[in-house]
Structure formats: structure tokens, C-alpha cells
Amino acid sequence: MSEQAVSRTVYYRVFFALIVLAALTALVAEVNLGPFNVTVALVIALVKAGLVAVYFMHLRESRSLVWLVLLISLAWIMIMLVLTFADYATRSWGQFR
């Protein structure tokens, strides 16, 4: 019972953090940080997604296999991005003399 109450407190705290981060990302977008606007926005999004996954989706208590499934799919997204950019990032290198 008390364990449940603890987990509810955690849920409320995480929710509070998520709301703060969402507000932060909206506010920080108004400030000109040059190329760092994207970086900041993505870092905040990653933190939010991490909070939802770890606490709301109970990754924290899940077996390592579930972590593995998640990590592999994230790794595969990275493979897709990085290798596609092996093409796009080098398109301008000496394509025409």
C-alpha cells in the first residue's frame, strides 16, 4: 500500500517536471541561440521522452530485455540517419570538378 502511494508521488513529480520542461521548450524557442535552438529543443524533448519512458512506462522496473528492445530500435534509427547522411553530407564533395 505505502509502496503504491510512493509510486503515485513519483508520478506527480514526473508530471510536474514534464510540464515545466514543456513550458521551458516553448519559452526558449523565443530566444535566439543560433544553431543551438534545435539542439536545446531536441535535448529537452529527449529528457521528456526519457521521463515518460522510465517512469510512466515503467522501464525502471522492467527486465533488461525490454531495455534492449528499446535501445536496439533507437540504435537502428541512428543507423538509418547516419548512413543516409553518408550520402547527403558528402553530396557537394567534388560531384562536379
Rg (CA), the chain: 19
Cβ 48 to another protein, closest distance in Å? 5
Do residues 54 and 66 make contact, with C-beta atoms less than 8 angstroms apart? no
CB-count burial class (<10 Å; 0-12, 13-18, 19+) for 82? exposed
- Block residue for cell numbers 557537394: 92
Site of interaction with another protein (CB under 8 A): 4, 7-8, 11-12, 15, 18-19, 22, 25-26, 29-33, 35, 37, 41-42, 44-45, 48-49, 52-53, 55-58, 62-63, 65-66, 69-70, 72-74, 76-77, 79-81, 83-84, 86-88, 90-97
